[in-house]
Amino acid sequence: MYLNHPRLRVAPNRARMTNLRISHTYGPGMKLQKMTMLFVSTWTCPEWAGKPAFFVLRSRRGGSGVAFASRGCLKLDFLLSMKNYHLVWLSLVSLCFGQFLLGQDDGGENAVQAAESVSASSSGQSEFTSIRDETRTMLSEIFQEEMGENSWVRLLVSFVIILLTYMARKIVGYLFENWLHRIAEKTSWEFDDRMIPAMRGPVGWMVFAIGLFIALTVLNLSPEWDKAILLGVKAATMTIVFWGILRGVDVFAETMMGLAKRRDMAVHGFIPLIQKATRTFLFIVAVILVVQNLGYSVSSLLAGLGIGGLAVALAAQETLGNFFGSVSLVADRPFRVGDWIQVGSKVDGDVEEIGLRSTKVRTWSKSLMSIPNKVLANEIIENWSKMPKRRVKQYIGVTYSTPADAMHDLVEDIKELLREDEGVQQDFILVNFTDFGDSSLQILVYYFTSTTAWLAHMDIRQRINIKIMKAVEVRGASMAFPTRSLQFEGDIAERIADGLGSKAD
Alpha-carbon separation of residue 173 from 187, 247, 249, 409 (angstroms): 21, 16, 21, 81
- Residue in 201, 227, 249 with CA at minimum distance from that of residue 293: 227
Alpha-carbon separation of residue 361 from 172, 290, 351, 384 (angstroms): 45, 39, 4, 14
135 three-class SS: helix
pLDDT tens profile 394-452: 999 999 889 999 999 999 999 999 999 999 998 899 999 999 988 889 999 999 998 88
Q: Is residue 504 exposed (0-12), middle (13-18) or buried (19+ Cβ within 10 Å)?
A: exposed
Spatial separation of the C-alpha atoms in residues 444 and 411, rounded to whole Å = 9
Reported pTM: 0.40
Domain covering 390-474 assigned CATH 3.30.70.100 in the classification: yes
pLDDT tens profile 463-481: 999 999 999 999 888 888 7
Name residues whose C-beta falls within 8 Å of residue 66's C-beta, 6 or more positions apart in sequence.
57, 111, 112, 114, 115
| Proportion of the chain above pLDDT 90, given as a percent | 12
pLDDT tens profile 163-176: 888 888 888 888 87
Which residue type does 156 have?
L
Q: What is the pLDDT of residue 309?
A: 59
Residue 74 pLDDT class (50, 70, 90 cuts)? very low
Mean pLDDT of the chain: 69
Q: What is the pLDDT of residue 115?
A: 42
Spatial separation of the C-alpha atoms in residues 135 and 35, rounded to whole Å = 13
Is 153's pLDDT higher than 60? yes
Alpha-carbon separation of residue 98 from 3, 102, 104, 114, 367 (angstroms): 6, 6, 10, 17, 79
pLDDT tens profile 325-382: 777 777 777 888 888 888 888 888 898 888 777 889 998 888 898 888 888 888 888 8
The domain ranges of the chain are 2-144, 153-315, 317-386, 390-474
- Architecture in CATH of 317-386: Roll (2.30)
Q: What is the pLDDT of residue 37?
A: 34
Q: What is the pLDDT of residue 300?
A: 66
Is 10's pLDDT higher than 50? no
Tell whether the torsion through CA atoms of 308, 309, 315 and 319 is positive or negative. Answer: positive
Rama region for 485: left / alpha / beta (φ>0; ψ in -120 to 50; rest): beta
Q: DSSP letters of 404-421?
A: HHHHHHHHHHHHHHHHH-
